[in-house]
Amino acid sequence: MAELQMLLEEEIPGGRRALFDSYTNLERVADYCENNYIQTVDIHKEKVARREIGILTTNKNTSRTHKIIAPANLERPVRYIRKPIDYTILDDIGHGVKWLLRFKVSTQNMKMGGLPRTTPPTQKPPSPPMSGKGTLGRHSPYRTLEPVRPP
């Protein structure tokens, strides 16, 4: 009977504790193995994916040809000739110039008793007046406007 009581009080609870410790240790080992296995599988998958990407990214064979091709017959360049700048081209451009010309034309037409006429539109710009050196001088109409004559 003493043996039975010793079994019930000491050996059975000690065995239960040992079994529980073994159970917790085995559970930890199983978790570690599972995580390690999953990590190993993930590493392997990543290596395979990188290898496949490496295969797809091979260097393209490019031929080294010259992009600019020289012409077969070389044209001789035209010799530069300096031309003087003609500023009279700009005489009909600007604010007030067209108004001034219309004003002169309309006063002449009114003197003759007719309606003011405008030139029909053309595709070419108006040709500049052919004058000597320049257009701005003492007697140019650009300095001051002509006084309006009473009717």
pTM over 0.75: no
Task: Give the count of domains, the chain.
Answer: 1
User: In this structure, is residue 93 part of a structural domain?
Assistant: no
C-alpha distances out from residue 75 to 46, 78, 79, 80, 149, Å: 62, 9, 12, 15, 63
User: In this structure, is residue 41 part of a structural domain?
Assistant: yes
Q: How far is it, in rounded angstroms, from Cα 110 to Cα 112? A: 5
Q: What is the pLDDT of residues 71-118, one digit of tens each?
A: 788 888 888 999 999 988 888 787 765 555 555 555 555 555 555 555
Which residues lie below 8 Å from residue 89, measured CB to CB, with a gap of 6+?
128
Q: What is the pLDDT of residues 21-69, one digit of tens each?
A: 999 999 999 999 999 999 999 999 999 999 999 888 877 777 777 778 8
119 touches 112 (CB < 8 A): no
Q: How far is it, in rounded angstroms, from Cα 102 to Cα 116? A: 8
User: In this structure, is residue 37 part of a structural domain?
Assistant: yes
User: In this structure, is residue 121 part of a structural domain?
Assistant: no
User: In this structure, is residue 135 part of a structural domain?
Assistant: no
151 burial level (CB within 10 Å; 0-12, 13-18, 19+):
exposed
User: In this structure, is residue 32 part of a structural domain?
Assistant: yes
User: In this structure, is residue 43 part of a structural domain?
Assistant: yes
Which residues lie below 8 Å from residue 101, measured CB to CB, with a gap of 6+?
92
Tokens of 87: 């500023």
User: In this structure, is residue 146 part of a structural domain?
Assistant: no
Q: What is the pLDDT of residues 134-143, one digit of tens each?
A: 556 666 555 5
Range of the domain at 46: 25-56
C-alpha distances out from residue 39 to 30, 36, 65, 138, Å: 14, 5, 50, 97
User: DSSP assignment, residue 71?
Assistant: -
Instruction: Give the up-direction half-sphere exposure of residue 114: CA atoms within 13 A in the CB hemisphere.
Output: 8
